Homo-oligomer: A and B are copies of this chain.
């Protein structure tokens, strides 16, 4: 029996885990709640216990596995196998997670940040399959990304490669949590869409369900904005158009720099599908150099929530 891979996708609410074969097929997957109490000190023991139990339940031993890969929020030190500044895990100080995994499970371990790991997943088994140059952009609460060039994930000199959510699309635009203004994230994240909708409703004169809802206590979500746009709401369509303009503009800067085979759009906002993809592609093409306009394809992510565990597991292939 050929050896298997283990992938872990650590999140602030749930932690997803999976066993995969060397071809990237998911053999078993499960999730546990992430217990971030007591400064996140239960997180790694819980993960380790859960993996140990699943190995036993499957009638296997650690020797049946090649290694473990993990994606995590926060700042990752890949050389030391540690994570710091993972505030939504309550990890303020550096956590020696590779040491903990190796001590307890005796398997080699690789770690990277969650957006990079999702990029690896889509590259390996999703929308980017078999393409050497792929950029992944995830539109969630924030906007993150990962860049794969010549078949390798790029990290940059200080781990900042793939911070495409902070490309400036509107000088002196909205204030971003990063301290700058006008970052893509302030317009194209789920929270950005909601903020833009609230702003644009202020100056909207006409008939719109979205404009009406903005006057009530109704909680407006990015999903609702795209739903209303799909159903012909004028304001919602104006908001979506603005979001897609900024997204297409930022992706054209990436395209004009790298000319990747694909730019893959994932994360919660991407569930809007073609309502997001089609206008974004138009604005991308308006701003992309002629030889890039049609050769770099914008695609929707294909793996959904599995991108993290699949990409994480792919990092363990290096231990074969």
Contacts and interface: CB of A to CB of B under 8 A. Distances in A.
Contact of A157 (B133, B154, B249): B133
A150 interface: yes
B258 A291 contact: no
A145 B258 CA distance: 11
A177 to B, nearest CB: 11
B160 A295 contact: yes
A154 B256 CA distance: 12
B156 A292 contact: yes
A252 interface: yes
Interface in A149-175: 149-150, 152, 154-164, 166-168, 171
Interface string A121-164: 00000000001010100000000010101101011111111111
Interface residues of A, number: 48
Interface stretch (A41-49, A65-73, A282-290): A282-290
A257 B131 contact: no
Given A163-B256, A250-B253, A258-B147, A157 B131 contact: yes
A1 interface: no
Contacts of A197: none
Contact of A256 (B75, B159, B167, B286): B167
A59 interface: no
Contacts of A147: 257-258
A116 interface: no
A296 interface: yes
A251 to B, nearest CB: 10
A114 to B, nearest CB: 16
A133 B156 contact: yes
B257 A291 contact: no
Interface in A30-80: 75
A254 interface: yes
A160 B149 CA distance: 13
Contacts of A162: 257
Given A131-B157, A259-B157, A249 B171 contact: yes
5 contacts: A133-B154, A156-B259, A157-B261, A157-B295, A160-B292
Interface of A: 75, 131, 133, 135, 145, 147, 149-150, 152, 154-164, 166-168, 171, 178-180, 249-250, 252-261, 286-292, 295-296
